[in-house]
Amino acid sequence: MTYLELLRRDRLPHILCEGCGDGIIVNALLEAIVELGLPREKLVFVSGIGCSSRIPGYLLFDSLHTTHGRAIAFATGIKLANPELKVVVITGDGDMAAIGGNHFLHAARRNIDMTVICSNNYNYGMTGGQVSPTTPRGWRTTTTPYGNAEPPMDIAKVAAAAGANYVARWSTASPLQIKESIKKALTREGFTLVEVLTQCPTAFGRRNKLRSAVDMLRWYKENTVALHHARELEEKGVDLSAKVVVGEFADRDRPGLVRLLGLVKEEKEEEKKEEPPAEERAARRREEEERLRKARKRILEAIAKLGTPKIRRMIELGMDVEKIEKELLKHAR
Amino acid sequence: MSHMHGTRFLQGNIACAEGAIAAGCRFFAGYPITPSTEVAEWLAQRLPRVGGVFIQMEDEIGSISAIIGARWAGVKAMTATSGPGFSLMMENVGFAAMTETPIVIVNIQRSGPSTGQPTMPASGDVMQARFGSHGDYAVIALSPNSVQEMFELTVEAFNLSERYRVPVFLMADEIIGHMREKVHLPEEVETFTAPLSRRGARYYFRPDPKTLVPRMQVFGRGYNVHVTGLTHDERGYPATNDAKVHAKLVRRLVEKIERNAERIIRVEGHHLDDAEVVLIAYGAVSRSALAAVRELRAKGIKAGLLRLITLFPFPERLVRRLARRARLVVLEMNLGQIRREVERCSRRRVHFLPKLGGELHTPREIVRFVEALK
């Protein structure tokens, strides 16, 4: 199977602009799926609104193209209703960090089993290039004509802090790392996020002196710093505030929500394996009870031989032991 | 059969939750809101025991999103809310209508606008149920007036949503939601599930020519179906710049309900045959109205009651017929939302007795109002 077979070729040509970075993401994603050999019918793609959210419409899988910001909430329903499905959300910075910010935070907190691929192009490309929650300070967009005054959100760090199991960030200048991270994310339990810094020369770059895709990719190459280097450099006192740190921000193995809710099939089988000792315990208890019952019966029979006909009848009728005892004491006296 | 059955003394919200289980609902996503919370609380306890899933989402937008997702994953799903949450859900009500997703939304109505009176009954959301989301579409809305009906109409809501692939609203009010009554829950209920289309069919959104409803698909079975809220053709593919495709799709979304209206609509009539004054009411108000009709009859006034069980599609023909031979009096816990529908169908001004603030019309008030008409 090649990744070309995973495209809805009857939908081509696509609507994405020349030079868009989403093609690099699709490439990395489909190669990851092919290399992992994931069965097509068990994958579901969910997206919201925006350029990257159009991607599932070109993939030959079950796909749900939803409303702005809500993809993760829809995906939550899909995953919990059928935990056998592998749910992949394709979203963007505006869709996930702005209008869908709350769903994003809570999905990471729940550690719900899904993979989110966030195409972060620093702006709202579909509507023509407005400021987004990730636009760096000072950069120009159509709604920040004098430069963005607001500090941006660090999506990867927020996801890691909120509780996601696996979080990685790469730029489209390093497609191999994107693919490897997607593979890791797809095979990991819990909430996994791959943030991809992507170029949008059409709506964003040209307003910031980065007119072509090549300019933007070069900018990413020059301005991204790998996480381990960043730590070393910071220790040496190098100022990295103008750089973007890339790498793996979380790599944990906490149980996902599906397991926490007891919806995993293997877990039920494990429970069954644990059951035999419990059954053995019950059998032993039954044996012990039977032994005691027989001993009690023998004692009562012995007493009956000694006692009066009344006592014998009381024992035969299985009357209260205390009453029999009283009668016995009376007889003994 | 996993739902509660037999003769019970139940709260309306709990009867609704049991109705959902009886109808085959195995997924609930919700957010706490008075006066609907008991539905969520009951299902949080019950669903895990019948193989279902309950999740409390971060808000009502997430709740309706999750149930739509669950239905596409092949599980019948429901959410429950009240006015403020209902407003938040409106965007995805449109999404469910556009993607023809069968879901059930329970609205235990309280007084609005805004936060209003959280613990008081009202019927102020009925027009929102019909027209709340942007664009043209049609829905089905039901109005229970007893705890028994909270159970029965919840089952009905699921069956209708599956049959017509449409979001269905159970528009109860706080009185019916919180009232406790004796109910008889049947052991078996009739349930319906939308039939699936053939796998690998290219035209997943091609409707049945008679019912106008396309067959359903489910994720995870190799359909490779694309579902979008954008205007789509019969393959499910976006066709956002095509006027013909859009007009055809949206007309069908409305027509599939209108054409089947007579099959969907349910009403209850009391003394309508010879009535000279017909009271039109729904929900809790209809109980006062029935008492008033009996009192009016005892006084020699030929009154009748038309109780709307289905609010939408609206029983246009029946109301038109009644308007020809009787005076119509609409009773509502709002400032005249269903009155507009009645006026539209009867093509004349109707008498109207509203009641706001969370108090129910008393039979006495209704009797006085009708007597004053003479």
- Compare A274 and A318 and report the one with higher pLDDT: A318
Residue A323 has pLDDT above 90, yes or no: no
Would you state the CATH architecture of domain B268-373? 3-Layer(aba) Sandwich (3.40)
Q: Rounded to 5 degrees, what are φ and ψ at B40?
A: -65, -45
Q: Is residue A266 scored above 90 in pLDDT?
A: no
B55 reaches A (C-beta below 8 A): yes
Q: Please say whether the beta carbons of B347 and B321 come within 8 A.
A: no
Q: A267 pLDDT exceeds 50?
A: no
Mutation choice for B interface testing from A67, A104, A109, A111 by most B CBs within 10 A: A67
Query: Going from the N-terminus, what domains does chain A have, and what CATH number goes with each?
Result: 3-260 (3.40.50.970), 265-332 (no CATH)
Alpha-carbon distance A107 to nearest alpha carbon in chain B (angstroms): 9
Please state the rounded mean pLDDT for residues A37-57.
Answer: 96
Contact B31, B59 (CB under 8 A): yes
Which residues, 6 or more positions from A183, have their beta carbon under 8 angstroms from its beta carbon?
A: A32, A35, A36
Q: How does pLDDT run across A145-156, given as a tens digit for each residue?
A: 999 999 999 999
- Cβ of residue B269 closer than 8 Å to a chain A Cβ: no
Domain positions in chain B: 6-185, 268-373
pLDDT category, A268, cuts 50, 70, 90?
very low
- Residue B65 to residue A84, Cβ atoms within 8 A: no
**Nearest-neighbour CA in chain B from A95: distance (Å):** 14
pLDDT, one tens digit per residue, over B280-332 is 999 999 999 999 999 999 999 999 999 999 999 999 999 999 999 999 999 99
For residue range A141-196, list pLDDT tens digits in order: 999 999 999 999 999 999 999 999 999 999 999 999 999 999 999 999 999 999 99
Binding-face residues of A in 164-203 toward B, CB within 8 A = none
pLDDT score, position B1: 59
**Residue of B70, B225, B228 lying closest to A81 (CB–CB):** B70
Please give the residue of chain B at the shortest CA–CA distance from A47. Answer: B228
Instruction: With cut-offs at 50, 70 and 90, classify the pLDDT of residue B66.
Output: very high
Q: A8 and chain B: CB distance < 8 Å anywhere?
A: yes
Q: A65 and B230 in contact by Cβ < 8 A?
A: yes
Write the class of the CATH domain B6-185.
alpha beta
Instruction: Return the closest-CA partner of residue B13 out of B76, B60, B81.
Output: B81
Residue B88, CB-side half-sphere exposure with 13 Å CA sphere: 21
- Quote ipTM for the complex: 0.97
Residues in chain B: 374
Beta-carbon pairs below 8 A across chains A and B: 131
Task: For residue B238, give the 3-state DSSP assignment.
Answer: strand
Task: List pLDDT tens digits, range B278-289.
Answer: 999 999 999 999
Residues B117-163 pLDDT 10s: 999 999 999 999 999 999 999 999 999 999 999 999 999 999 999 99
Average pLDDT, chain B: 97
pLDDT, mean over chain A: 92
Specify which residues B331 forms β-bridges with: B353
- Please check whether residue A246 is in contact with residue A227, taking contact to mean a CB–CB distance below 8 angstroms: yes
Closest residue of A to B75, CA-based? A81
d(CA B215, CA A125): 36
Residue A331 pLDDT greater than 90, yes or no: no
